[in-house]
Each structure stands twice: as C-alpha cells, then as structure tokens.
Amino acid sequence: MPRSVYSHKNMVSARALERAILNSNMEYSSIRVGRMTIPQQRANVSSSEAVAPSSSHHHHHPLATNNIFPTHVLQYPLIPASKVMMNEIFRILNALLPDTCKLPSNVNTLLKKIINVSKQYQKVYHCCDQVCEASNHCCSKCGMDCSNSFFWSKSIETCTSEMVDLIGLRNFKAHCTVQPSIDEINDCIDSIEYERVVRGWKEPDAVCITLIGGGDSGSVSKSSRKSVLPLVAWITELPLQYRYSFPLTMLLAYSNKPIPFNTLLDRFISELLILNQGKECKTEQGVIYRLKARLFTFLVDLDACYDLLCMTNHAGTSSCRWCKKNGRKIQDRTIYSSGGNEQERVWSEIVANYKLMLKGEIQQFDGVKGLSILVRLPYFTWTTQIACDLLHNLLEGLCAKLLNFIKNKYNIDTINNKLYEIKTPSFYHRRVRGLDELSYFKAIEYYIIFSYCIEVFQDEISDKHYHILNRLSTFIRTIMHPVVRSLEVLYNMKKEIFEILQAIETDFNIFILTLVSHTVVHFPLSIFYLGPLWCTSTFMLEDLVGSITSSVQGGKNNMDHKALENFSLHQVISMKRVRTFHFQFEKGDYFHAQEFGHGLVTSKKDGLYHVKSLDSNQVKILDEMPKNVIPCFQVCGKFKQVHRNDLFLI
C-alpha cells in the first residue's frame, strides 16, 4: 500500500464554507489532486465521476495520467446534506485541493460528482441460517417473519463491471494480466499455492482474477445489536504488480438480529462457484466481457479462523502460507496451544480424519466440529488457503503469549496501576486495561501497550525480560511504517526478528512457539514486497463500514441502513485514508503542536476547542485544531506522540 502524500491545508470554518457554498454559483473547470489534474466535464456529468485522491507510491501507476480516469477513485455517500456530511466534505476537499485553488462553491455541482449506487445493492433475506425468498416479509420456506433478518449484498460481477466502465476493459485487463516473478512473490504469498490455483484455469480472452478475501465474524455472530459485517475481496494480481490492495467487493450485514457468518459467506462462495467456470457479463455502459474468478486465500483474524476451519481449542489452526509449517514441528508431532496448555497433535492424523469426514465416513473427531464451508470451492484446500493476517498473528499470538508469561510470573498490581493511569487519545475508542483482564484484550490493545506503553514494565520485571519487550516494541513500530527497499534493510530486519524470537524462547522459557508466533519470521519479507502490515490487515476490514457510516451519520453507534444504500466501494481504503487523515480530538486529549508544544483539550463545545498549553498554561479557543497537531499518550509522566499510520487501525 503506498504512503499517502496528502498534506494538511489551512482550513477555514466549515460553517463559513457551508454558507459560502450555498450563496455562490462559481464554477470550476478542473481539480488538481496531488500531482494529477482531473478534467471535469461541465455538461452531461455522469454518475461515475468523482474526485480521486492521488497516492504517492513507490511504483509509478501506469494509469495515473490526465487522459483517463484514475483507478484510485474516491466516492462519497449521496444523502440529504446533513451538517455532519457537509463538514466532512469540506474537510476532505481542503485536504485534496492545493492552497491556490478555491473550493467549488455550488453544492449542486459538488453533489453531481457524488455517486449513488443504491440500486446496485441487493437486500437479501435469511431465515434459520439460510438465504430465503421473502414474501410479505415472511420466509417462503417456513413462514417465519424475516423482516429484520437481511443483509445488503453487492456482487463481484457488479463491482468488476463498475471498474470496467470507469477505466475501460483494455486497461482493466492490463491490471489483471500479470506475469509475476515467482522468486519475488514466494515470500509475500505462497507461490506454490498460487501456481496450483491458476494452472490451466486462465483463459486468454477472459478477465481472470484471483482474489484475497477477508472478513470479520465477531461483529455479527457475537453481537445482539444492530451490526455491520464487512466481507471484502482484493484482486491478488494488483498487489503483485502495483503493490497496493484494491478492494473489489463487499457484503454488508445490517440487522436487528445476529447474522451467522457462514450465511454471508455462503452467498459469496455461491457466486465464486459460478465465476470459477466463467460468466458473460455486461456493464451498464454496454461493455460485454467474460469474467472468471477464484479465491486464492481467505484472510481473517484468529477468532474467525477458528470459525471458518470449524476447529475447537486450537491456536495453530492453519498452516503457514510461506514454508508450509503447521504449528511448531517436533519430529512428526505438531504442537498447538489450547487454553494456555500445550497439546500434542499429529497433523497427518488430523488431515487424514478430515478427509474421512469429507467422504461422510465419520461425523467429527477431536478438535474439529464440522466441515469448513470454504471446501465447497473445489480448488480451495482446507489447510493452506485460510490464513490469519500477520498483524493479528503478532499481536494476539506472540504479544499475548509474552504478557501471559508476565502475568503468571510477576506481581502485576503495580503494573496494572500504571496501565490504568495511561491517558489514551480518544480516537482509539478504548482505554488500556490491566493484565488481569488479558483474556478480554482486543488486538488493538496489545498494539497500544507494545507501541507506546512499554515503560510500565520497567523496574517491575527483570532487565532481561524488559529488554526483549523493548526490542519487540521497536520492531512493531518499524513494521508499521514503509521502509526503504534495500537488501541491507531487509537483512537487518530478518536478523533482528530472529534474535528476538531466539531470546523469547531462551529467556522467557517459551520453547514451543505456535504457528501464530512462528509467522513473525516472515514479516520482513512481507513488508519488503507488500508494504507496512496494515496494508493487508483485517484491521482495515473490521472498520471499513463503520468509517463510512460514521462519516455520514456522525458515529458508529448511529448507523442507518439508508446509509448503506448510498455508497460505492471501488476504493474504500482510499476513502478511509482521506476521511481519517485528520485526527479527531475530544475533551481530555493530550496533543503536541509546533506553536503550542504539549497541550490539553479542556473542552469541546459547539465545534470550538478550548485548549491549554502545558508549557505556558495559556488557554485559547480555536475553531480548528492547529496545523500538524499530533495526539499524545501520557505514559508514566511522559508524552508519546501517536504514529500517523495508527489511523489505519482505528
């Protein structure tokens, strides 16, 4: 994923801009975005036009020219112009437009650029974990009321057709026709599996795409509230060639009742079964093309990994995408961690029993509760194509194991008191909890502790153990940022992580590292070829819908299915990147700005910030926060500035 090149602009009051826009009819001929000027048609403005953010990346994008519409398309929701939405649009435009360009001041002209694709979403009803036909809001199979049991679905075919209309069939084929170097991709995806999936399947005249899917089961299956679940697929070939992920399709779940993850996944797989054979498609502009698609791998977090594999009491559930390891092997045994206790399982026996279950000869066996729904895809293997994303492996795997060790070995009362005193910036939406609540930690909590709060362990644990935690903290901060692509940097990163893992095994007496810990050794090469870990992390998936709906409705807890009808998802990550480019501040947040030094937001009322400089005790009232302001943690009396890439995890 390329690093954004957006720079902060001097922003004026959103309310003043709103009045200016409503009272003016000034037209404009072009908008300059980054290094690229996008011509805007004055007449016959189609619904497929939108302001597109340019992204600076390490590799020049061949389609980013003035002659065609760029593929990094930024699209906004089209709903009645609420104050929240107008303020957000102003903020986005200020970030996109150069200082010398005036804002477009005709609301109607602006809204014509905003896409409404509600007709391309389908409302899908389900009952008893099965998709059903709804007649008068009742299930056609059992007659039960299913008016609240539905989700919004947008197909792979629809999203692909939209991209074909946007950039042209020839250009889209050029994106998807890749001759990758197997040596190069060997260490960022499993090249052996990739060759197996595509061998003899691609057709020269068809658009053939392999997908990396991803989703989060927790937000739906474990929630009793209205919930939204993202299920996204990326085109695999694009990361291989252009080094960025391109979201292709998405299922949206919105219901008053929990929706089983497999119900959503079933619809996704059903379409993949059709596209595996190929399908003639026609876009809205009348372009006819043949589409083929296969799912290369499915990327999830640890909890969803258990659900999809239908396994119980396992931490090393899937095999390694790089070196085929299944947990930590000792001779012919595979060691898994279950409930904090090491268990021995012979992987060959698990696979053999699973094959018997596929044939119907046995119903279940120890550790496995049923067949994975993904085996409906004939080319999809149970052991190698379901993977936990690397960032979750690191945080919920290795980091969790270290904190569990500290919890069991040391007196954690003083550590907990230090953790409770940490002032966390409000945009994380989460306070730091004590180690006695470790079993309830989310991945982002491990990230906060290891990235910013390692000092709480100083003088509370041995110097040897603290030194290892500090090295791991430095490594985490490194992998969250783009690095210079050089063999020297790659060698140093590989050397560092091997030394860290070796020290963990010896100094922490953790001699058996499970699969989730093992995958850390592959981080340097993954970063070297694909960019920082947040690029392909399910952190991006879990909050995509929440980010969009909150930009419309003003908060993640204030979702409305009408909002889900009115946004398009060609480049959701670019939208998220722009929308969250500015940190949000609330009362009690610490920050650092050049003109203030360290400061504190004492109150926020009517869009005005009351801030206090901690250096001079001067109090000011601001309409907007200072330029280049950075939120801060307060840890053990010290301030820690937030890394800007954290915006992609929240």
With cut-offs at 50, 70 and 90, classify the pLDDT of residue 136: confident
* Mean pLDDT, residues 374-383: 77
Range of 266-270, 345-349, 501-505 with top mean pLDDT: 266-270
Q: Which of 174-188, 374-388, 440-454, 628-642 has the lowest mean pLDDT?
A: 174-188
Range of 89-103, 141-155, 393-407, 496-510 with top mean pLDDT: 393-407
Residue with tokens 């996944």: 265
Position 495 scores a pLDDT of 85
Report which residue type is found at 195: E
pLDDT at residue 362 is higher than 80: yes
Q: How far apart are CA 601 and CA 608, in angstroms?
A: 10
Position 76 scores a pLDDT of 26
Query: Per residue, what are the HEC states of 326-365?
Result: CCEEECCEEEEEECCEEEEECHHHHHHHHHHHHCCCCCCE
pLDDT at residue 634 is higher than 70: yes
Q: What's the mean per-residue pLDDT of the chain?
A: 65
What would the DSSP string read from start to end of 205-256? TSEEEEEEEEE-SHHHHT-SS-B--EEEEEETHHHHHHSS--EEEEEEE-BS
Q: How far apart are CA 64 and CA 67, in angstroms?
A: 9
Residue 488's SS3 state is: helix
Question: What is the value of pTM for the model shown?
Answer: 0.64
* Mean pLDDT, residues 517-539: 65
Position 335 scores a pLDDT of 46
Q: How far apart are CA 118 and CA 257, in angstroms?
A: 23
Position 323 scores a pLDDT of 56
- More confident call, 459 vs 569: 459
With cut-offs at 50, 70 and 90, classify the pLDDT of residue 151: confident
What percent of the chain is predicted at pLDDT more than 70? Answer: 51
- More confident call, 278 vs 121: 278
* Mean pLDDT, residues 333-359: 60
* Mean pLDDT, residues 101-106: 47
Position 636 scores a pLDDT of 87
- More confident call, 195 vs 69: 195
What would the DSSP string read from start to end of 120-134? G-EEEEEETTEEE-E
* Mean pLDDT, residues 208-220: 69
Q: How far apart are CA 633 and CA 341, in angstroms?
A: 35
Q: Which helix (H) or strand (E) holds 31?
A: strand 30-33
